Amino acid sequence: MNLHDIEERILILCPFVKEIVVTIENGHPFATIYPNFQTLKSAHIINIESEIRWYGIELYNMVVEESQKVRGYFISTHPLPKTASGEFDTSRVKELLNKTKQTMQTA
């Protein structure tokens, strides 16, 4: 499974996604998304999560095989971490997800 292809397809489908990193969580693709707040504001979108879920995740999931469907996502309020070369740092993205999960469990 090519995770980069999943990222590219979702970016094409959804103008409200500015950055996306897809990783494997529990055996399935999982998307970490940084929204395009400027586009959302211009479109007068209030419910960011709903728009991204429908126009990004659900539309993508409708046209791919079962094994490539994104089974979960996290919307970040901050740009996704990058390496010195400008590539997304997937290990730091996974750390961000783990910290978020820990925070949610203790809340």
User: pLDDT per residue over 26-39, tens digit each?
Assistant: 899 999 999 999 99
Cα Rg of the chain (Å, integer): 14
The phi, psi pair for 18, rounded to 5°, reads: -90, -45
pTM for this model (two decimals): 0.88
Query: How many Å apart are CA 28 and CA 103, to the nearest integer?
Result: 22
pLDDT tens-place string over residues 15-61: 999 999 999 988 999 999 999 999 999 999 999 999 999 999 999 99
